Amino acid sequence: MSIIDSALKANRNYAKRYDPKLGRPPAPKIAVVTCMDPRLSNLPEILGLPQADIDVIRTGGPAVTEDVLGELVVSTRVLGTTEIMLLNHTGCGFTTFTDDELNVKLAAVTGDVSPAPMRFFSFKDPEKNTREQINIVRSHPWIAKDVPVRGFVFDMETGLLSEVEPVREQTAA
Ligand SMILES: [Zn+2]
């Protein structure tokens, strides 16, 4: 049985004990942008927050793309979250290649160059990545200035979060 088929079967049982109250509109309090890495799936435990409080926005890396910015705008302006957390981590799969390398490799493996250059948002340094993300989110005109935007690196070896200090914007002399 495929994994999806087995998931469908399990869902039949899940629905039997489903709480219909969960059908009500959610009231999330915080938006967390994090990586698609499965080790970051248990955010309620990692952050000690109820699942219902967290809008989880996940991309590889994570990457703060135009889509992610749109989701953060909706999360804070429409859904009611009041804080933004950018959660990177050590040992990310997106640090194991560069966009150029993967484009070349996939074009060769598939014999089809037409999707290149695809943007995979690979990176090398999670702290630097986090700092860039804070700048991108903080400087978006539709993210309200009173919404805190804080960035962290989750250490896969210890389970601890370290805060990444944003770079102060240079003021023109
Ligand atoms: Zn990752």
122-153 pLDDT tens trace: 999 999 999 999 999 999 999 999 999 999 99
Instruction: Please give the structure tokens belonging to residue 13.
Output: 């049982």
Q: What is the mean pLDDT of the chain?
A: 95
Pairing of strands 83-89, 149-154: parallel
Residue 146 near residue 81, CB atoms below 8 Å: no
Query: What pLDDT sits at residue 54?
Result: 97
Query: What pLDDT sits at residue 173?
Result: 52
Question: How far is ligand 1, taken at its centre, from the CA of residue 135, in Å?
Answer: 20
Pairing of strands 161-164, 149-154: antiparallel
Question: How far is ligand 1, taken at its centre, from the CA of residue 37, in Å?
Answer: 5
Instruction: Please give the structure tokens belonging to residue 91.
Output: 């040992």
Query: 145-171, pLDDT tens digit by residue?
Result: 999 999 999 999 999 999 999 876 665
- Provide the 8-state DSSP code for 37: -
Q: What is the pTM (predicted TM-score) of this model? A: 0.91
Question: How far is ligand 1, taken at its centre, from the CA of residue 90, in Å?
Answer: 8
Mean pLDDT for the stretch of residues 56-84: 97
Instruction: Please give the structure tokens belonging to residue 133.
Output: 């993300």
